[in-house]
């Protein structure tokens, strides 16, 4: 199958101030990739290699992969693994799974095992400290898995410890407002894929499209056909958002649904953590 048209890869760079981040972690570099959908040409090998080269060139301390490695059946992960094996980060590579990684009953464990074989740690309602105890990395189960369960993790976390939270679906940011989440990293929306100047992501106008597009065409327009099923918050389709005292960043992803992308380039995101004693205190605990 011919690769989908996506436009040029774009690197987004953001500096994130953290309250109570130890000085030794000042300048820590975290790179995020999301939504590879490595199935049937939804992500070309060329774009994938380009993204991996950019990640490695940035010499990240931590790499985070925020789900949807595959699209449906799990076997394409075996072809994706040799590409991912090229990724390098000083403190390791951490992943969460997206809704597409768990559609098929055996997919969750198949994908987890394949990633583990090359040293990528898949988090499922777990917390790790890749750079030491001064910064927690929380990885949550996908919202639609029925196992999304942040409460026990946040109950046990030291409220003074800054944390980055990996959560595939940005809708979870609403629930996560109950806890301190200095930075939530999501994907899932693909930025809406079709983004018009002034209008923004087209799926925002789903009700209108449903009114004018005949239903038989829905299977060919997945983001439109699934409608609000994809997200309740198209206003958070991509970029940085403030939710109370928490921050949410939504990555546009690398892979794409048919018919491809317009005005919504695939993305590699680099975050630099800044220790800022007077940064706002986060959390509602």
Minimal distance in Å, beta carbon 44 to Fe ion? 16
Residue closer to Fe ion by CB (options 22, 227) is 227
Minimal distance in Å, beta carbon 223 to Fe ion? 10
What CA–CA distances, in Å, run from 45 to 9, 42, 69, 95, 97?
13, 10, 14, 20, 21
Residue closer to Fe ion by CB (options 68, 171) is 68
Residues that contact Fe ion, how many (by CB under 5 A):
2
C-alpha torsion sign, points 222, 228, 234, 237: negative
Q: What are phi and psi of 155, to 5 degrees?
A: -60, -40
Residue closer to Fe ion by CB (options 130, 255) is 255
Minimal distance in Å, beta carbon 68 to Fe ion? 4
Query: Please, what is the end-to-end C-alpha distance for the chain in angstroms?
Result: 50
Neighbours of 255 (CB within 10 A): 26
Residue whose structure tokens are 């690197």: 11
Residue closer to Fe ion by CB (options 39, 163) is 39
Residue closer to Fe ion by CB (options 246, 256) is 256
The two beta strands, 239-243 and 246-250, are antiparallel
Q: What are phi and psi of 82, to 5 degrees?
A: -60, -30
- Name the 3-class secondary structure at 100: helix
Minimal distance in Å, beta carbon 36 to Fe ion? 8
150 and 184 in contact (C-beta within 8 Å)?
no
Take residue 103 and report the two structure tokens written for it: 């559609």
Judged by CB under 5 A, the chain residues 20 through 39 that form the site for Fe ion are 35
DSSP secondary structure string, 213-238?
Answer: S-GGGGGG-HHHHSGGGS-S-GGGSS
Minimal distance in Å, beta carbon 247 to Fe ion? 21
Residue closer to Fe ion by CB (options 35, 171) is 35
Minimal distance in Å, beta carbon 252 to Fe ion? 10
Interface stretch with Fe ion, choices 1-9, 44-52, 65-73, 111-119 (CB under 5 A): 65-73
Minimal distance in Å, beta carbon 64 to Fe ion? 15
Letters for 132-151 (x = contact with Fe ion by CB under 5 A, - = none) are --------------------
Alpha-carbon distance of 129 to 266, in angstroms, equals 29
Residue closer to Fe ion by CB (options 92, 265) is 265
Task: Tell me the chain's radius of gyration from C-alpha atoms.
Answer: 18
DSSP secondary structure string, 126-147?
Answer: EEE-TT-TTSEEEEPPPGGGT-
Minimal distance in Å, beta carbon 4 to Fe ion? 13
Q: Does 68 participate in binding Fe ion (rule CB under 5 A)? A: yes
Residue closer to Fe ion by CB (options 89, 230) is 230
Interface residues toward Fe ion, by CB under 5 A = 35, 68
């Amino acid at each position: 199958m011919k690769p989908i048209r996506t436009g040029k890869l774009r690197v987004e760079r953001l500096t994130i101030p953290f309250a109570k981040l130890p000085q030794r972690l000042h300048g820590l570099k975290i790179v995020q990739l999301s939504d590879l959908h490595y199935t049937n040409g939804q992500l070309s090998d060329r774009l994938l290699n380009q993204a991996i080269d950019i990640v490695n060139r940035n010499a990240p301390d931590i790499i985070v992969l925020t789900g949807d490695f595959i699209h449906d059946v799990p076997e394409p992960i075996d072809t994706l693994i040799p590409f991912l094996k090229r990724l390098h980060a000083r403190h390791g590579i951490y992943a969460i799974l997206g809704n597409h990684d768990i559609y098929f009953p055996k997919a969750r464990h198949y994908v987890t095992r394949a990633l583990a074989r090359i040293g990528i740690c898949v988090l499922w309602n777990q917390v790790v400290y890749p750079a030491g105890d001064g910064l927690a990395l929380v990885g949550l189960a996908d919202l639609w898995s029925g196992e999304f369960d942040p409460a026990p993790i946040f109950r046990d976390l030291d409220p003074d410890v800054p944390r980055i939270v990996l959560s595939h679906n940005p809708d979870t940011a609403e629930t996560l407002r109950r806890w301190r989440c200095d930075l939530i990293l999501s994907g899932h929306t693909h930025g809406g894929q079709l983004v018009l100047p002034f209008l923004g992501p087209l799926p925002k106008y789903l009700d209108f499209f449903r009114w004018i597009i005949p239903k038989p065409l829905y299977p060919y327009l997945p983001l439109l056909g699934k409608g609000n099923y994809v997200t309740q918050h198209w206003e958070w389709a991509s970029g940085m958002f403030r939710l109370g005292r928490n921050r949410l960043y939504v990555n546009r992803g690398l892979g794409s649904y048919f018919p491809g992308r317009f005005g919504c380039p695939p993305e590699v995101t680099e975050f630099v953590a800044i220790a800022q004693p007077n940064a706002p205190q986060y959390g509602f605990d």
